[in-house]
Structure 1
């Protein structure tokens, strides 16, 4: 779903960074798994998280394009996407990418707005519901 919903204006030579929330428990390892899987499909697409797993500091040295796209790996565009990702504060991901002399293009669209992500969530919901009915 990540590589199927990249920005239409992005060229194949441009880096894209997905920013997720992260976690403080063992499920955070799924971000690293997702990052590896996505990187295997497109080496210029990176997955990071604000907490734990793959951080922006891990991604910055791997960027090679002058223009970098930032996309939330969050279901909706809220405070994290607006401030932590795309904000003007010096600690935002946008500011940190731009401090390297790169142009940054934030995409303010949550994953719930993409059909590919919605299909995955619906499939998981169906599987969970089916599992509940089978155990009755």
Structure 2
């Protein structure tokens, strides 16, 4: 009987040692995936997208970093022009699974939880969560998602606005808008600006969404604005900012407002380079891990 007990103890010790050695040999592999729409403008890639990516990498140094773009057109153009292949989210998650990652944090750099988020990012996340491909897979929300985000973003935007504007001066932020349905995030952010007495008016590129250019025009006329500072309300200052907002064509916002008699200046630069905006994305990622 004593021999049996000794043998059993020896087996248990061997199993314990084997399990301990196995755990040491295979530590948890953690990944940070930053999912952006993407851009073909090298300057905005470096300053805007990489600005957010670098803030997240600094906040999560224990995670290996991976970049993802959701726009097929952007990915194709970069591949053709630069020979650089950037994965979509599903491809990246497949690679991470094959490499043995078990803990994956995905943070999107999208502005709002709209079409791109709902149609490309969430379905992929839900698929891998349902299949239990990873022990842990979470996603941080876009910049303007919860009610508390709007005041935080409004205050963050003041750090890039000119100081001490007069009553006849206003920043006009150009957002994208949605071609399919009204994105209420712009209304909520405008309400936050107004509540905090921030001299800023929002308009969107998409004519079928609101507040469109005509809506914005009516607002600044009502406020008796004489001088406008145009700034993009977009994570990256890409095609819309450089052309629709600040371009030399007659129908750019800069030239349309100038033709209406406004004094117009332009500040090009996406939200991604704003350190206070970066902090909000980091907070969203941390919240995702807590949930």
Shorter-chain TM-score: what band? 0.7 to 0.9
CA–CA distance in structure 1, aligned partners of residues 202 and 242 of structure 2: 18
| SS of residue matched to 1:22 | coil
Selected match of 2:279 from 113, 119, 132:
119
> Normalising to structure 2: TM-score of the pair?
0.41
Unaligned 5+ segments in structure 1 are: 132-136
Between Structure 1 and Structure 2, how many residues are aligned? 130
Which has more radius of gyration?
2
Show CA shifts across 1:106-131 (max 9, x none).
Answer: 10111111111111111112222332
Report deviation, 1:92. Answer: 1.3
Q: Comparing 118-127 with 23-32, which one deviates more in the overlay? A: 23-32
Aligned to 1:54: 211
More helix by share: 2
> Normalising to structure 1: TM-score of the pair?
0.84
Higher relative contact order (CA 8 A, sep 6+): 1
| SS of residue matched to 1:88 | coil
Aligned to 1:89: 249
1:1-136 correspondence runs (5 A): 1-8=156-163, 11-13=165-167, 14-25=169-180, 28-42=183-197, 44-51=199-206, 52-63=209-220, 64-131=224-291
Aligned to 1:134: none
Unaligned 5+ segments in structure 2 are: 1-155
Contact kept, 8 Å, 1:76 with 1:111, in 2: the verdict is yes
